[in-house]
Amino acid sequence: MLGLVFRNKKDTMTDDYSKRVEAITFWKQAGLTPIRCEPIEGGITNRNFRVEQGNEIYFVRLGEDIPEHGVYRFNELAASRAAFACGISPEVVHAESGALVLRFIEGKTLEAEDLRDFSKMEKVVSLLKTCHQEMPQHLPGSTLIFWVFQVIRGYANTLRVGKSRMIPELSKFLEINAGMEKIVGKIDLCFGHNDLLAGNFIDDGQRLWLIDWDYAGFNSPLFDLANLASNNEFPEKLERQLLKMYFEQSVSVNLWKRYFAMKCASLLREAMWSMVSEIHSTLDFDFVKYTGENLERFEMIYAQYENL
């Protein structure tokens, strides 16, 4: 989800998480020397650290299952290993309950404006095609699916049970959701990343890496394309170039309509993710404000969608 920095009893919490990193069994099992651990800020699904062990540098992420958001660590681990096998993500060197240890990639974490640079598009499309087409060959038999329209239905159920302030709006959201799902229609199934924030791309100076597989699962390629464009506020010209490059054909009226429905669904899902976080997250962040901002974006794009 959205990469944000939180400051919630930061010093005490950081010390606690640092102790958890130091307690990871990998260090002793590998006979490694004492570690140097530094927190990496940003992100709200996990706590991330840069760890030095002698001449080795690792990336450590701490995180438990988050059922209300469909985040399950067995799935993240399987996807991370498959992505490494395909050469698009760093190696997983150790995993245990609540912790993942990967090789550290030295490079620049991208910003949204970097992804709006057309010169990056070929590399991004290549990464996505590898993810979509090759990762299933390296996955176990049991893997999650991420169908955004079902995610939205599930969020609606969670919000009802949690007595969300947004309950009066849910019927409208679900009606819109059903209409967009119908427009998308039959899909080509692929394995998607499903959380294409700029911060999940790293440029090491020679190539791009794709990281953070919390929401990975089988999906339509249209969702990753729409999610990428939506998260990083692509202008229409760049969206059409993205679709043309990915599908290697001109963008038909039908493809554009189906893509736009996925874009609206991506925005609605982000808004509802925030609504669920309002009632479940313990982080010190103004989720109510964030919900409002995302609903405003959704309503603006959905109005455009209705006029297509």
pLDDT in tens, the chain (308 residues): 544 333 444 444 566 778 899 889 998 877 776 678 899 876 666 789 999 987 889 999 999 999 999 999 999 999 999 999 999 999 999 999 999 999 999 999 999 999 999 989 999 999 999 999 999 999 998 899 999 999 999 999 999 999 999 999 999 999 999 999 999 999 999 999 999 999 999 999 999 999 999 999 999 999 999 999 999 999 999 999 999 999 999 999 999 999 999 999 999 999 999 999 999 988 778 999 999 999 999 999 999 999 99
- Main-chain phi, psi angles of 47, to 5 degrees: -110, 125
Q: 284 and 138, same structural domain? A: yes
The pLDDT of residue 43: 64
For residue 2, being part of any structural domain is answered with no
Number of structural domains found in the chain: 2
Q: How far apart are CA 109 and CA 124, in angstroms?
A: 14
Domain that holds residue 67: 10-108
For residue 5, being part of any structural domain is answered with no
Q: 209 and 130, same structural domain? A: yes
Please say whether the beta carbons of 263 and 236 come within 8 A.
no
- Which of 87, 108, 129 is at the close of a domain? 108
The pLDDT of residue 5: 37
Q: Which two tokens stand for residue 152?
A: 């939205």
Q: 240 and 163, same structural domain? A: yes
For residue 131, being part of any structural domain is answered with yes
The distance of Cα 78 from the centroid of its chain, to the nearest Å, equals: 15
Closest CA relative to residue 35, chosen from 47, 48, 46, 24: 24
- Residue whose entry in the numeric block shows the structure tokens 């992100």: 43
The pLDDT of residue 282: 81
The pLDDT of residue 46: 79
Q: 154 and 240, same structural domain? A: yes
For residue 71, being part of any structural domain is answered with yes
For residues 217, 185, 116, 244, the Cα torsion angle rounded to the nearest 10 degrees is 110
For residue 29, being part of any structural domain is answered with yes
What is the 3-state composition of the chain as percent helix, strand, coil, each rounded to the nearest 5?
Answer: 55, 15, 30
The pLDDT of residue 34: 66
250 contacts: CB under 8 Å, gap ≥ 6: 244
Q: 236 and 166, same structural domain? A: yes
Q: 201 and 79, same structural domain? A: no
Classified as helix, coil or strand, 163 is coil
Provide the CATH number for the domain around residue 22: 3.30.200.20
Specify the amino acid at residue 159.
L
Q: How far apart are CA 271 and CA 249, in angstroms?
A: 32
Q: 153 and 279, same structural domain? A: yes
DSSP 184-240: H-S---EEE-----GGGEEE-SS-EEE---TT-EEE-HHHHHHHHHHHTT--HHHHH
- Which of 49, 84, 108 is at the close of a domain? 108
294 contacts: CB under 8 Å, gap ≥ 6: 267, 270, 271, 274
Q: 199 and 76, same structural domain? A: no
The pLDDT of residue 283: 77
Q: 57 and 170, same structural domain? A: no
For residue 217, being part of any structural domain is answered with yes
Q: 92 and 123, same structural domain? A: no
Q: 291 and 222, same structural domain? A: yes
Q: How far apart are CA 240 and CA 229, in angstroms?
A: 10
For residue 150, being part of any structural domain is answered with yes
- Which of 56, 75, 108 is at the close of a domain? 108
Q: 276 and 132, same structural domain? A: yes
